[in-house]
Structures are given as C-alpha cells and as structure tokens.
Structure 1
Amino acid sequence: MGALGRLGGLLADAALGLPLRAVPYTVARDVAVPMPDGVTLLGDHYRPSGAAGPLPVVLVRLPYGRAGVFAHAFAAPYARRGLQVFVQSTRGTFGSGGHFRPFTTEHEDGLATLAWVREQPWCDGRVAMTGGSYFGHTQWAVAPYADPPLVAVSPHITGARITTAFYVSGTPGLENALRWSLAIGRQEAGGVPAPLLRPLLRRRVERALRMLPLQAADTAAVGAPVAFWRDFTAHAAPGDPFWAVADHDGADLARMPPANMVTGWWDLFAAAQLADAVRLQAAGVPLRLTVGPWLHGEPGEVREVLRTDAAWLGHHLQGGPAPSGAPVRLYLQQAGTWLESPTWPPPGTTTVHWHLHAGGTLGEEPGTGGEPSSFTYDPADPTPGVGGPLLERPGGQADNRAVEARDDVLVLTGPVLPRDVDVVGQVRARVHVRPELGHADLFVRLCDVGADGVSRNVVDGIRRLAPRSVPADDVTVGPDGVLAVDVELFPTAYRFRAGHRLRLQVAGGAFPRFARNLGTGEPFATATTGRPCRFEVFHDAAHPSRLELPVLS
C-alpha cells in the first residue's frame, strides 16, 4: 500500500468518524477455501505488512462482494488498525462456487470456513467476527456453535431469528422481502440502474407488489426469478421447517463470546436484536448495545458500527483498553439525548395501561360500555401503511393523517398530556376483536399527535389470525367468540411531549409493507382471490382492550 493509498485510508477514516490510523497492509485476493461438499468459496486476506508469525483474525462473511464500498467500510478500516482480516464471499456470490440460497447454507459453510482459517499458518487460533445485516446473520450461524469459541462477535442490525424480518407474527413482510430480493437479484447483473431508469424500475416494483399471484412478482419487477423470493413465497406458513436451518434463536449460548451490537429504532431488525439482547444477558454473555435513531443501514448507523467495533476488536484481539461507559446506550427520540443503562430493557420502568373506549378515545381507566366499534378491511383496496421500519426511505416516521381519515381504520385518541412521558422498552397491546372471517390480520399502531394535529407513527405490530381451531399462546377465544389478541409492537425509547396526545390505530393491514390477507386461507404464493372482512373491536368491562406502555420513572 503506497503513500496515496494510506492518504485515502486516512480520509476514509475521517469520513467514517474513526480515529486516524495508517498501519500498512497487504491484500491477497481470491484465496480459495474448500467446503466439505467440494464447493470452493473465495476470500480476500488483509495482513499487516511485515508481520511475523501468526496473528488473530477478524472474519467477515457476506454476499455483497469484497470490493468497493464493502471493502472500504468493513475490511480496510480494521486492517489500517493493524488487524488481520479475512473477508469471504458467501456461497454463490462474487466468484464463490455453488448457488446462493440466502440463509440456508451459512451454518455449515461458516463453521467450515472458521476451521480452515484456524488451520492457516498466519492464524494464531483466535478469531472474531463482525458485520451487519446479512453478515450479522453469518455470525449467528457460527458463534453459538464454534468449538473452541470465538473471541468476540459483533452481530449488528440483524437477529438470531432472521425470519422475523420477513414474517412478522405470521404476516409476510411483503415490501421488505421484495425489495431485498430484487437488490440481491441485480447485484451481479448490472447493479444500480442508471438514474433515468430508476423511476421505471420503481413503478415496476410498485406494480409487482400489487400483483396476484405473488409467486412471480420477482419476474414482473426485474425480468428474472430470484431464489430468495421463491423461497419466501413458497415457505410463508408459520413454522415452516424450511427455515429451521436459518434461525438460531434456540441455540445454546454456552459458547457465545462477548457481543457488541448496534441497531436503530427504525431498523427492521430492531425487535429481533433486542430480543437477542435479553437472551444474551440472561445467559451471562458480556454485551454492549447501542440503539440510535436510525433506519437500516443509514450512514449514522454504519458509523456507529465501525466506531464501536474499532474499540471492541482492538480490545479483544490487540489488548487495547476496554470500551468505557454503560453497557447499554439508548437514544431517547424527541428528547435529543442518550440514556445509559446496565441492561435492556432498562430498570425503573412502570407499565402504564391506556384503555380503548367507545367513541374513539383512549383513557387510563377501563371502558365500561358501549357498542363495539367496527370497520371493514377489503383486500381489493387494502389499508395503506406509511413509514415504519423499512429497508429504505420512506421508512421511519411519517404523517399518518391520510391513513387515519379512511373508514377502514379505527382511530382512538387520548387526552392532552400534562407532562412529558418517556416510553422506553417493549410496547404491547391486547385487543378484543371479532373478525368476520377466520383468516384475518390485526394491525395496531401507536402514534404521537403534536399540537399541530399531525399524527406521526412511533411503533406498531401485526398479528396474522388463523381459524379459531388453531391454538396460540397470544390469542384466546372467549365464550362469546371474541378473540383476545396480544400484539407485540416494536420496542422504542421515545418522549411524548407535554401538550401532545397518544393515538392508537387498529386496522386489518398495512400495505404494501405487509402482504394483504385475502381472507381465504389459500397458499400465499398462489392465492388470487380475496374477500372483505368486517371487524368488531370491543372495549367494554368484559373486554378491556388496552395499550401497554413501559414508562420510565
């Protein structure tokens, strides 16, 4: 690496918010790693120039290529700090052999790669892993099973149960799944389209999201089938065993090494990641966690990943100082401040109930009477969703007034808040509902209504309902046939300011973020017809529907 390269590295570090380091290094490209089934995967080996003898290794496994932005962001910054890095393209991507079938081969390939790395004369046996999103998943596929254990991991913006990003409480996350499918389907065949073609592609994607059947939406959008989309549509039923190899939330954490995790309140993996944090803490795994005000992969989120990992890997692999400060840092939205805590969720919260009342109001006391509220969800004109945890903009917070004006959305609003209310933790709702059809979705969203009357989404959740003969822990059936449905909304840290009001939406869907429930029970991939579904929402003394908020004292 010459002087110009070192200068470029320093400029890159400055842009990424990293302390400036310029350790020279060499890169061996396209290093072949054999898999047990005969397939060869390729990787790039970064090593400090002039290093003598074996060193620890930072292993990164990703499907997005080993050059360009990924090399500059997730390999070179660590190499400039004197770390040895091995970056590998996962099966079927960017020169690696085999077929890319997302999430299905990372366990076996990851363990085989780890064993190979440890056998190399340049490795001293100590290996850490890092990366976000898919290459956070490749860490979960290895870390709980590695023997001997890894030294440290950094599974950022991801989840041990990866399928929760695409199937939320049984409901297929249509928009995120299709957009990611198209991204990986195009990445080695033209990449990002020219600016003049982007509006055309966007319109094709929007049409594809609305088409039925959904099985061929990938072809309609980009002209060719994409393996992940076909798997996503064919295996959408809750509990489909196809995904068992992809989910690792049931793994024994006895060999899990110390973990550093970064995510954002608007990241589609935030709920799964924070569930992982609870499990890691319970298992006694040393954990550092940062949750900021970010959407998936936003620059601020990426900078925090790199900033925390530079210190994390330096500590665990090079004997540098341990990271300082509280283990858990949470950005309190609308307050412009960070909270520090020893754990997630933070201690010192109290569960506060806001009850649904007749007449479209929320109150602190349970409702006492009134006829049930009702609305009808029609899959031919699906209730739109705006904002929320999406892969890209326009995710995040959005003005919800147009959605709330529809007659297929039940809107309930609380009184003006006399003081600030800090909601920090997992938000839940219990809604007593009687849908006309056995197959239906229940969508619940909490909003913040400002003094200007604008309603902005804060957190939401959805539950796909099956015929009542199907038992479920979070759905109970009363003697009158009314369902008590527990809906887990996203976690958050959010300040509702004095003078604002809480608002709750209840609807039968949020399209296209979530696929339409057609009400027929036909297979997701091939369904073509839909039926409207009338909902009754109960809020009397016998059916105390409520919102559950963890309020920080």
Structure 2
Amino acid sequence: MNLNSYVTQYLQKLPPPQTRDLAVERDLPVPVRDGAVLLADRWSPKGGGDGLPIALIRTPYGRAGTLALGAAKPLVERGFQALIVSSRATFGSDGPFNPFLCERKDGLDVLDWVVKQPWAGDSIVLVGASYVGYTQWSVADAVPPQVKAMVPVVSNATFTMAFNREGGFALETPFTWAVQVERQERRFANVRNALEEREILRAMRTLPLSQADVGLLGHRNSYFQNVLDHDGDGPFWQAADHVDKVADITVPASLVGGWYDLFLPNQLRDFQTLRRTSPDTPHRVTIGPWAHWAMAMDGLATREALEWGLALAKGETPPERAPVRLFVMGEDKWRDFPAWPPPGYEPQRFHLQPGGALAADLPGESTPDEYRYDPADPTPALGGVRMWTLQKYGRVDNAELEARSDVLTYTTPPLQEDVEVVGEVSAEIFFRSSLPYADVFVRLCDVDEKEKSTNVCDGLISLTDADSDETTCAAVQLWPTAYLFKRGHRIRVQVSSGAFPRFNRNPGTGEPRATAVTLRPADQQVFHDPARPSAIVLPIRRIHSEPSRPLRMPSSAR
C-alpha cells in the first residue's frame, strides 16, 4: 500500500488519483550555458507519461522528501508528469550557488532543454512555493510557448526587497534561510535544524552582526554577508530583481499567498501589475490565513495546479472564478472579489487619543506618550510574519507584548456594529526620538469580549538622520489584510520601536548594520494632538450602517 499517497490525499483534500503506480528517473543531467550541469528527477505514471503536461519545479531544496512526495507526486498521480531540477551547488548540481542571482539564466536554459526531450509534450506548468515560486518569476516574461500557466506560491518577483529594504532590515528571514540552506544536506537536517533553532536565535544577537554566521557556522556565509553589505534595491542584486519584467508576462498566473507571509505585499503588487498589463489573461490570486508554511496552503496550491493549471495545459477552460479570493479573518470565511484592492472599502482614519484611546475623532490638546527603547533588551517579535522558526507565528495572544513598558496601546470602545477591513493598511505616527536613528513599529489588533488581543497586521519603518528637536511623521505601511472586527470587539493599535529578531534591532547610532557594536537606548515620544494627529488608516466597509456615515462608537470609555 502506498501509504504516503493516501496520507497526502487526505491532508491536502485532493480527489482520488488516476494512478498511484509511478516511475522515477533520477539524476538526469541538464546542461546550462556556462558548462555547468544541473541534476533533475523525472516523475511519471509507470504506465507511460510521455507527452503529458509537465509540472516543472526548480528548487535549491533537493529532489526528494517533502518536495517530491508532497508537491510533485500528487500532481503526477492526477495527470501530470513532473521534473524536479536542483539549483546550482545543491544536491549534486554543479556550482557555485549564488542565491537568486543565477536563476534567470539557468531557468531559461532548463526550459530550452526540457522542450527538446523526447518525453516532452506541448505543455508545461511552472509550480512551487517560496524560492521555487521565485524561480518562476525569474523567467516568466521569456518562456517558450509550451509554458501554459504558472502557480507561484508565497513568492514574488524580487525576494531581496522583502527583507532588505530602505524602510527597515528584516534580519530573521535571510539569516535563518542562509543557515538552513547551508545545513540542509546533513543527515536528518530538518530535525537537527529544529533542535538548533535556539542557537540560531542567540546568534542573531551577535555584535557585530557580520560575525553572527561565523559564531554559528564556524565561517562566513557569502549569501548572508552579501545581504548585510548590499541594499535590496542596489546594483548588486539587480540580476535578482524581476519586478520590471512582470509587466511583460502573458502566461496565466495563479498566485497563492498568506496574510502572515513575508512576501505578501510584493506578491499583491505583482498581481496588480499582471491585471493592469494583461487584463484579458485569466490571472488570479488566493490569500488565506497562513504564514509562510501551512499544510492547508500546500493543498490549495496543489488543487490550483490540477483544477486550473492542468486545464490550461490541455487547452481547456478552467472552472470560472473571481480573480481575487480572500479568506476574511474574524469572519473566517472565503469571499470572492473582482479586484485588489477590492472596491467599496473607504479609507478611514482612527486617531490615537490621550489615555490610550482610539477614535475616528481628531484628538484634542494633549501631551505626548513616552516610552524608552533599549536595543540591549529589544521589543520582541511575537506571532505575525515569521519564517522557519519554532517561535509562534500568525495570530497569537498579544498580552505578553502589550505588558511591556516599551509598547504603547490605543483602543476603541466596544464596536456597535461589525466593521470589515479589506485592503491596504497604513499609519501616520507623529514621533520624536532622543536619537536621530529610530524605528517605528505599528501593529493592528482585535480585542475580543474577554480582553484577548490578537494581532491582525503590522509593519515597521526606520527613521534616519532625524532631528531630535523636531517631530517626524513616520509613514508606516502595514501588511495588507482582510479582517472582520465583530460587534462588541475593540480595535487596538500598538506602537513600539521594534520586533526582534524579525526586524534587526536599531542600535540608535547610525552605524552600518554589519559592523554596529554600540547599543544606545532612546527615549521615544508619540504625539496625538490637533497639530500632530497620529492615526492608523483602515479601508473599511460598515456592515450595518449607511456607507457614508462615520463609524459609530461611544464617545467615552476606553
């Protein structure tokens, strides 16, 4: 009995397969233009797979294990053949491995090789998640006509900008990913990585940060050092940035993402570009209540490849569906929309008020709230957007975070009607620091009748060269969301100066992130007065009131 096949079918909620009897050709050599040879495994039905649509998976994570059994095998059992190709310098392929920088040239060469194989038919579908999704974006504007569809999951056209950006340096993702990839070919790698995760978390506190990899691995990791030394939008990463090519993509794309995935904002940006530049192509996006990895998301991605991608590969019309399908948290239901951002949601400002209140009204005259941020004891990341970590992620109880003296909270009275927030969320925080270098972190939360505060979305911006005698308006772009705040619940906004190690702690000195060794505490002020009306801006639809009427809340009580 093929137990794995039955378990995967159950966990991913898949229809019964056409066959469970598969054949695998291993270590096929795939030459690329500079003479390197990449290794590939071909999966096909044992009864014969020649000419079937090809599910192409290009990956640095190996050709066996979860990727083969959970991603490729379910597709091959249901109408595809699959080719899994290992990236340079991983699992037998020639090197060197330069993450992100090598995928366009290698990807185009792999496609050129695939279409010439005697077992290839006339259709290819690009599939896969995370880095595997990025390999699709890297070539999608220049693919041969045999490529009929792409299903990039929790991915976007430029990974580096997701963590290495002007607005703030997201440390946890590149560091933990660099360590994972370097150690992934060890025996029992996944188990050992999990057991060693606390060591990884400790390593991210290393000063200077350029020694974090040395202390953990015993040597410098070139990828992590490159991330430290080169901004995401600089010339070094230009070969890894395919944003400008998205407008030239005509291949139908079905994007799958999560509200707590680190690539979500850029993924939705890519979707908007696709819809704008090729409106007649059946592009679609599906966003669920997930972080970067989730079994439910894997199943949905497999079903998209089968129900949508396979239909296009066969020249058939897939089942009709709205271009945008979103899981509305709070309501916990799937809903369809015609576009992103959806129409009908009007931006409304909720202003920070004295006494920790939050209201649609402008604040009155008041003194600013204050807190002290100490990078030696940085405000921790709790839940939310995390990747490859034993720490909590997604929606969690924020009581521990909100009890800290370096976190301010502002809360509405109980809502008198349901309030639905769907779209882009931003904040304008009038802020002053005793140091010219500081971060502003803003988090939106839902507080239920039992006073449990659960995070919805958040974001951070770094302020540089600010005049400590002047107030700065910090424009913070939070993660997009779809959330229903129920009647009787309260909307809360947190303001702090960090979320470590998701974002690197701000040392307050302006030193380069790679070499900073001095940590300076800062005294921070948040203003809420008529001249400096700090606010969060929510795209809302009122469920039980006239659209033009402002949100109804009691005028008093926090």
**Normalising to structure 2: TM-score of the pair?**
0.90
Paired residues of 1:360 and 1:411 also in contact (CA < 8 A): yes
SS at match of 2:307: helix
Instruction: State the partner residue of 2:288.
Output: 292
User: How far apart, CA to CA, are the structure 2 residues paired with 1:232 and 1:189?
Assistant: 24
Alignment coverage as a number of residue pairs: 537
2:233 pairs with 222, 236, 239, which one?
239
Q: Mean alpha-carbon deviation: is it higher for 510-519 or for 237-246?
A: 237-246
User: How far apart, CA to CA, are the structure 2 residues paired with 1:425 and 1:551?
Assistant: 8
Q: Mean alpha-carbon deviation: is it higher for 59-68 or for 21-30?
A: 21-30
User: How far apart, CA to CA, are the structure 2 residues paired with 1:49 and 1:456?
Assistant: 50
| Cα deviation 1:98-117 (Å, max 9, x = unaligned) | 12221111111111111111
Q: Mapping of 1:290-439 within 5 angstroms?
A: 290-391=286-387, 392=389, 393-439=391-437
The 1:405/1:51 distance shift into structure 2, 3 A limit, reads closer
User: How far apart, CA to CA, are the structure 2 residues paired with 1:543 and 1:144?
Assistant: 46
Instruction: State the partner residue of 1:528.
Output: 517
- Letter of the 2:541 counterpart: L
* Pairwise CA distance, 1:439: 1.9
Paired residues of 1:263 and 1:291 also in contact (CA < 8 A): yes
* Pairwise CA distance, 1:42: 0.7
* Pairwise CA distance, 1:138: 0.3
| Cα deviation 1:310-356 (Å, max 9, x = unaligned) | 11222011245513332321111121211111222222111111011
* Pairwise CA distance, 1:192: 3.0
* Residue 264 (structure 2) pairs with residue 270 (structure 1): yes
Q: Mean alpha-carbon deviation: is it higher for 513-522 or for 131-140?
A: 513-522
Instruction: State the partner residue of 1:214.
Output: 209
Q: Mean alpha-carbon deviation: is it higher for 425-434 or for 404-413?
A: 404-413
- Letter of the 1:507 counterpart: S
- Letter of the 1:488 counterpart: Q
User: How far apart, CA to CA, are the structure 2 residues paired with 1:176 and 1:368?
Assistant: 41
* Pairwise CA distance, 1:253: 2.2
Instruction: State the partner residue of 1:71.
Output: 68
SS at match of 2:441: strand
- Letter of the 1:256 counterpart: T
* Pairwise CA distance, 1:549: 0.5
SS at match of 1:295: coil
Paired residues of 2:164 and 2:170 also in contact (CA < 8 A): yes
User: How far apart, CA to CA, are the structure 2 residues paired with 1:149 and 1:320?
Assistant: 15
* Pairwise CA distance, 1:125: 4.5
- Letter of the 1:334 counterpart: G
- Letter of the 1:137 counterpart: Y
The 1:15/1:381 distance shift into structure 2, 3 A limit, reads closer
Structure 2, unmatched stretches of 5+, are 543-558
User: How far apart, CA to CA, are the structure 2 residues paired with 1:193 and 1:115?
Assistant: 33
- Letter of the 1:243 counterpart: W
Instruction: State the partner residue of 2:82.
Output: 85
| Cα deviation 1:510-547 (Å, max 9, x = unaligned) | 11211111122222112111222222222222222111
| Cα deviation 1:55-80 (Å, max 9, x = unaligned) | 54221101111112211122122222
SS at match of 1:354: strand
- Letter of the 1:302 counterpart: D
* Pairwise CA distance, 1:491: 0.8
Paired residues of 1:169 and 1:462 also in contact (CA < 8 A): no
* Residue 200 (structure 2) pairs with residue 205 (structure 1): yes
Q: Mapping of 1:496-515 within 5 angstroms?
A: 496-515=485-504
User: How far apart, CA to CA, are the structure 2 residues paired with 1:458 and 1:257?
Assistant: 33
* Residue 124 (structure 2) pairs with residue 127 (structure 1): yes
User: How far apart, CA to CA, are the structure 2 residues paired with 1:41 and 1:198?
Assistant: 29
Paired residues of 1:146 and 1:255 also in contact (CA < 8 A): no
User: How far apart, CA to CA, are the structure 2 residues paired with 1:37 and 1:238?
Assistant: 26
- Letter of the 1:382 counterpart: P
| Cα deviation 1:122-159 (Å, max 9, x = unaligned) | 32443221111110000000102325473111111111
Paired residues of 2:160 and 2:232 also in contact (CA < 8 A): no
- Letter of the 1:272 counterpart: N
| Cα deviation 1:235-269 (Å, max 9, x = unaligned) | 2x463322222222221523331111111112222
Q: Mean alpha-carbon deviation: is it higher for 404-413 or for 442-451?
A: 404-413
% of aligned pairs identical?
41
* Residue 252 (structure 2) pairs with residue 258 (structure 1): yes
- Letter of the 2:358 counterpart: L
Instruction: State the partner residue of 1:457.
Output: 455
SS at match of 1:151: strand
* Pairwise CA distance, 1:222: 4.2
| Cα deviation 1:274-312 (Å, max 9, x = unaligned) | 222222211224222211111211111111111121112
User: How far apart, CA to CA, are the structure 2 residues paired with 1:218 and 1:452?
Assistant: 43
SS at match of 1:359: helix
User: How far apart, CA to CA, are the structure 1 residues paired with 2:47 and 2:197?
Assistant: 49
User: How far apart, CA to CA, are the structure 1 residues paired with 2:122 and 2:302?
Assistant: 24
1:248 pairs with 217, 242, 251, which one?
242
* Pairwise CA distance, 1:177: 2.4
Paired residues of 2:286 and 2:324 also in contact (CA < 8 A): yes
- Letter of the 2:212 counterpart: A
* Pairwise CA distance, 1:170: 3.0
SS at match of 2:88: coil
| Cα deviation 1:168-199 (Å, max 9, x = unaligned) | 6532212222222222121112343657x955
- Letter of the 2:69 counterpart: H
- Letter of the 2:494 counterpart: Q
Paired residues of 2:49 and 2:81 also in contact (CA < 8 A): no
Paired residues of 1:147 and 1:255 also in contact (CA < 8 A): no
Q: Mapping of 1:79-118 within 5 angstroms?
A: 79-118=76-115
* Pairwise CA distance, 1:504: 1.1
| Cα deviation 1:367-387 (Å, max 9, x = unaligned) | 232122222222112112211
The 1:188/1:154 distance shift into structure 2, 3 A limit, reads same
Instruction: State the partner residue of 2:57.
Output: 60
Instruction: State the partner residue of 1:188.
Output: 185
User: How far apart, CA to CA, are the structure 1 residues paired with 2:474 and 2:272?
Assistant: 24
* Residue 508 (structure 2) pairs with residue 519 (structure 1): yes
SS at match of 1:233: helix
* Pairwise CA distance, 1:494: 1.1
1:540 pairs with 529, 534, 539, which one?
529
SS at match of 1:256: coil
User: How far apart, CA to CA, are the structure 2 residues paired with 1:149 and 1:53?
Assistant: 15
User: How far apart, CA to CA, are the structure 2 residues paired with 1:463 and 1:219?
Assistant: 29
The 1:191/1:218 distance shift into structure 2, 3 A limit, reads farther
Paired residues of 1:150 and 1:256 also in contact (CA < 8 A): no
Q: Mean alpha-carbon deviation: is it higher for 185-194 or for 293-302?
A: 185-194
The 1:363/1:14 distance shift into structure 2, 3 A limit, reads closer
- Letter of the 1:527 counterpart: A
Instruction: State the partner residue of 1:472.
Output: none
- Letter of the 2:302 counterpart: L
